[in-house]
């Protein structure tokens, strides 16, 4: 974090030909007030020192005896290896040791008083995967972030626990909208409730995603660290992004419903189901977790899933942990990967829980793991946003830096070690085969079950046909996650697969969709 912030400040000074102090003031002008926490670094930044030297001089990182100093940039020119960094640090610390102590008390951003309250809220939603603002306790909210309606269908009455998206209508919603799909009341022409007229027998169903950071749609805006594009407008979404855990589920492949503001376009399984049957409005849940593993699914399903077996509509559940069972930042990464035996146990346990809670007629789609060799193959020699100004940081350098710090999102794939990359993909394939066998052999009372490979190869092919290149499908800042374009293209591939092979999953098209929309338009769109 320190290296990121110091790099941006030093590059701002370079780009605007200003002092470091002026660059700091410029950045603070860009950033919303309570997030201006970098001032404590000002005393320690020098345009003649690179960000690695500055941040090591602050002693923010633990260093084991004999361990090389982690660095993002090439070491200072005196020597082209880490001892050059040692030399620069020895020179720097003698001058700055006392002044840097003022920063040590704030080594966690949550220690800053203005951010402490937000951090507590975020910790709550991380623990529970539930909306922070939910007055009636039905697991749905009228507040967008902090696991609110960006993640689940928007509640239409947060004072009544029996009113929420996805339930079967109460008395055909003749008097009120019990399922929040906007369809309620009685047609004055014939006295038949609108919900009964338009949605009875329409095979309504919701969509639930059990995913990881890819499913939650993790994204750090590149304009936050690209000084040539930086302005106050670049940071307008910073508060929302933090309170959504740097995830953007409202634009995601499975549960997206808003027009994308982070590039590309929004296309999602939810939007296509809603277009197919307008009665499905708001029936979505994104129960994804950054860093989520297969072994964590069953425990947090027990308090995060909102589905009543007796009162609610069936659901399509997408089970998609596409990488974390083989991805970790450990030194001996292979030893910390999920084994096929563990995968079988973890997934079957989660499916048994779903069978006891999903309404009859539901469906589950298991998604295979990705082949992450795609990342290194397409990015390693390209420049990261931090390196574009001076052509001094490639993705290979970023991956090595994160691995050295033991915070790599995937030591097995984000590495120059081709053998390790191949072994990681081999384990991913083994785990995908476990999922495939579960779909083939396991039977459940309340849902049928299907398997599909993660459609990365098909997505890249589609993008090439549109004139794009494969690297443009990857998040530019982390160099790891599928981006907005990949998400939108992936939706079309999943949909076509379902239409041709599992039409029962999607349900039939509602012939009354046009009439529903016409009535909405007549009533002002409410």
Burial class (CB in 10 A: 0-12, 13-18, 19+), 67: exposed
Q: What percent of the chain has pLDDT over 90?
A: 75
Nearest to 222 by CA among 210, 235, 211, 212: 235
Q: What is the mean pLDDT of residues 236-256?
A: 95
What is the pLDDT at residue 62?
67
pLDDT digits (tens, 9 = 90+) for 175-185: 999 999 999 99
pLDDT tens, residue by residue, 258-276? 999 999 999 999 999 999 9
Return d(Cα 252, Cα 502) in angstroms, integer: 22
For 166-212, the pLDDT digits (tens) are 999 999 999 999 999 999 999 999 999 999 999 999 999 999 999 99
Mean pLDDT (the chain, rounded): 90
The answer on pLDDT for 98 being more than 80 is: no
Distance CA(323)–CA(291), nearest Å, equals 9
Looking at residue 55, what is its pLDDT? 86
The values of phi and psi at residue 14, to 5°, are -65, -45
Helix (H), strand (E), coil (C) string for 337-365: CCCHHHHHHHHHHHHHHHHHHCCCCEEEE
* pLDDT higher at 167 or 28: 167
- Predicted pLDDT at 105: 47
Asked if the model's pLDDT at residue 82 lies above 70, the reply is no
Q: How confident is the model at residue 49 (pLDDT cuts 50, 70, 90)?
A: confident
Top-confidence residue, 62 or 81: 62
pLDDT digits (tens, 9 = 90+) for 291-302: 988 888 878 888
| Bridge partners, residue 449, by sequence | 364
Backbone angles phi, psi at 318, to 5 degrees: -100, 120
User: What is this structure's pTM?
Assistant: 0.92
- pLDDT(127) > 60: yes
Please state the rounded mean pLDDT for residues 48-55. Answer: 84
User: Quick one: pLDDT band at residue 101, thresholds 50, 70, 90?
Assistant: very low
pLDDT of residue 119: 79
Among all residues, which ones are annotated catalytic?
A: 213
For the segment 413-472, what is each residue's pLDDT rounded down to a tens digit? 999 999 999 999 999 999 999 999 999 999 999 999 999 999 999 999 999 999 999 999
Mean pLDDT for the stretch of residues 469-496: 98
Chain centre distance of CA 333: 23
Domains of the chain: 1-74 (no CATH), 204-520 (3.40.50.1110)
Report which DSSP code applies to 509: P
Which pLDDT score, from 0 to 100, does residue 77 have? 67
pLDDT at residue 114 in the model: 63
**Mean predicted confidence (pLDDT) in 22-49:** 72
d(CA 221, CA 219): 6
Per residue in 371-401, pLDDT tens? 999 999 999 999 999 999 999 999 999 999 9
Q: Work out the pLDDT band at 123, boundaries 50, 70, 90.
A: confident
């Amino acid at each position: 974090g320190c290296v990121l912030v110091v790099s941006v400040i030093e590059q701002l000074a370079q780009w605007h030909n200003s002092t470091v102090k002026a660059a700091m003031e410029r950045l603070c002008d860009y950033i919303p007030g309570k997030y201006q926490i970098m001032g404590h670094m000002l005393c320690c930044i020098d345009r003649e020192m690179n960000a690695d030297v500055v941040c090591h001089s602050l002693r923010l990182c633990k260093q084991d005896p004999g361990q090389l100093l982690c660095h993002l940039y090439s070491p200072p020119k005196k020597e082209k290896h880490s001892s050059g960094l040692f030399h620069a640090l020895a020179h720097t610390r003698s001058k700055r040791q006392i002044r840097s102590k003022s920063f040590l008390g704030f080594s966690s951003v949550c220690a800053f008083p203005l951010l402490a309250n937000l951090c507590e809220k975020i910790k709550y939603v991380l623990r529970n995967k539930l909306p922070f603002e939910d007055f009636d306790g039905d697991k749905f909210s009228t507040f967008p972030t902090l696991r609110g309606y960006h993640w689940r269908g928007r509640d239409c009455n947060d004072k009544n626990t029996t009113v929420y998206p996805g339930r079967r209508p109460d008395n055909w919603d003749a008097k009120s909208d019990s399922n929040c799909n906007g369809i309620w009341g009685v047609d004055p022409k014939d006295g038949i409730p609108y919900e009964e007229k338009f949605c009875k027998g329409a095979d309504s169903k919701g969509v639930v995603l059990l995913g990881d950071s890819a499913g939650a749609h993790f994204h750090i805006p590149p304009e936050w660290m690209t000084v040539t594009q930086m302005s106050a407008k670049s940071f307008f979404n910073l508060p929302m992004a933090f309170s959504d855990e740097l995830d953007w589920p409202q634009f995601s492949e499975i549960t997206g419903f808003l027009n994308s503001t982070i590039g590309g376009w929004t296309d999602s399984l939810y939007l296509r189901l809603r277009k197919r049957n307008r009665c499905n409005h708001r029936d979505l849940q994104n129960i994804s977790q950054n860093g989520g593993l297969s072994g964590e699914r069953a425990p947090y399903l027990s308090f995060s899933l909102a589905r009543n077996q007796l009162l609610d509509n069936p659901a399509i559940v997408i089970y998609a942990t596409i990488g974390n069972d083989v991805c970790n930042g450990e030194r001996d990464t292979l030893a910390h990967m999920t084994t096929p035996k563990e995968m079988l146990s973890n997934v079957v346990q989660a499916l048994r829980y779903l069978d006891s809670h999903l309404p009859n007629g539901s469906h589950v789609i298991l998604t295979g793991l990705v082949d992450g060799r795609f990342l290194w193959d397409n990015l390693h020699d390209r420049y990261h946003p931090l390196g574009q100004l001076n052509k001094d940081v490639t993705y290979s350098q970023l991956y090595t830096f994160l691995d050295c710090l033991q915070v790599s999102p995937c030591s097995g794939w984000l590495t120059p070690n081709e053998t390790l990359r191949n072994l990681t993909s081999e384990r991913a394939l083994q785990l995908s085969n476990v999922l495939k066998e579960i779909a083939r052999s396991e039977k459940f009372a309340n849902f049928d079950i299907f398997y599909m490979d993660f459609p990365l190869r098909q997505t890249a092919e589609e993008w090439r046909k549109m004139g794009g290149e494969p690297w443009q499908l990857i998040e530019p800042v982390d160099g790891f996650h599928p981006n907005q374009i990949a998400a939108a293209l992936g939706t079309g591939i999943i949909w076509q697969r379902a239409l041709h092979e599992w039409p029962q999953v999607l349900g039939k098209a509602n012939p009354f969709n046009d009439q529903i929309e016409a009535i909405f338009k007549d009533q002002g769109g409410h």
